[in-house]
């Protein structure tokens, strides 16, 4: 009888242990699901963006995904990081409208964006130089037809004006050409690299503001055409 009682007691102990282990496993699974599932959702959201997917790939490279993500980066719009920033700012304003921290961070971001856009030249001097040279070419044709000539003073004035206007601003594309030539000659490229980055930042910021607000924050370097006497 004693042996039977001991066996029954041992059976109850085993059953209790198994039940406890099962309960612990259920709780652990629930906790894992509660904590890990939102993380998986967040990871999926990150992968939905081109930059986010590439960042995740860099953290854990997979060969079969390499070509796909690389191609996505080529096709991604250059404004994507700044547009993400705009979306973050709208989200933060919705979630924490009264937060001073949110307001200050959003203000600093917006000011930086505007300052960059304002630093982007409108290239009006370049456009005016083109127009002046076109007008000069038309006038040359007219003078030739009428068998008339030009004074040296007029030609010098037109040439000086074109040079002055073209020297006001350097196109970003030509900055890159200068960078390439300077690097080929093994000279210091830091100044050109800094200027190119600043111009590119300004260009993208200006483009973003134009798309979202329709306002051009770029410096308006108005240049009135010079009408030389002849």
In this predicted model, what pLDDT tens digit does every residue of 191-226 receive, in sequence order?
999 999 999 999 999 999 998 887 666 654 433 333
Say whether pLDDT at 6 is over 80: no
pTM: 0.60
Reported confidence tier of residue 29, pLDDT bands at 50, 70, 90: low
Residue 149 per-residue DSSP state: -
The pLDDT, as a whole number, for residue 99 is 95
The pLDDT, as a whole number, for residue 165 is 82
The 3-state DSSP class for residue 6 equals: helix
* Cβ–Cβ under 8 Å, residues 58 and 51: no
| Residue with more model confidence, 184 or 219 | 184
- Residues 67, 179: Cα–Cα separation, whole Å: 30
The pLDDT, as a whole number, for residue 65 is 86
Token digits for 25?
């496993």
The pLDDT, as a whole number, for residue 223 is 39
- Residues 166, 54: Cα–Cα separation, whole Å: 41
In this predicted model, what pLDDT tens digit does every residue of 36-87 receive, in sequence order?
445 556 555 656 677 888 888 888 888 998 998 888 888 888 888 888 889 8
Euclidean distance between the first and final Cα of the chain, in Å?
Answer: 132
- Residues 207, 203: Cα–Cα separation, whole Å: 6
* Cβ–Cβ under 8 Å, residues 166 and 129: yes
Which sequence spans correspond to the domains of the chain?
118-213
Neighbouring residues of 56: CB distance < 8 A, sequence distance ≥ 6:
43, 46, 47
Residue 98 per-residue DSSP state: T
Per the document, the length of the chain is: 230
């Amino acid at each position: 009888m004693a042996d039977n009682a001991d066996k029954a007691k041992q059976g109850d102990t085993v059953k209790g242990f198994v039940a406890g282990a099962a309960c612990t496993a259920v709780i652990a699974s629930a906790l894992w699901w509660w904590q890990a599932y939102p993380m998986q959702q967040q990871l999926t959201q990150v992968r939905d963006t081109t930059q986010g997917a590439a960042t995740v790939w860099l953290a854990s490279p997979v060969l079969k995904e390499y070509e796909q993500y690389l191609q996505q980066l080529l096709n991604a719009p250059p404004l994507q990081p700044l547009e993400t920033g705009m979306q973050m700012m709208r989200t933060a304003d919705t979630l924490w409208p009264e937060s001073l921290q949110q307001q200050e961070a959003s203000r600093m971001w917006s000011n930086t964006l505007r300052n960059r856009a304002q630093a982007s030249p409108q290239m009006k001097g370049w456009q005016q130089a083109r127009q002046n040279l076109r007008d000069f070419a038309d006038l040359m044709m007219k003078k030739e037809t009428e068998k008339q000539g030009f004074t040296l003073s007029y030609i010098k004035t037109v040439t000086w004006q074109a040079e002055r206007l073209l020297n006001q601003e350097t196109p970003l594309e030509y900055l890159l050409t200068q960078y390439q030539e300077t690097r080929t000659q093994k000279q210091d490229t830091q100044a050109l690299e800094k200027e190119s980055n600043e111009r590119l930042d300004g260009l993208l910021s200006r483009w973003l503001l134009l798309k979202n607000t329709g306002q051009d924050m770029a410096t308006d370097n108005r240049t009135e055409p010079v009408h030389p006497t002849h």
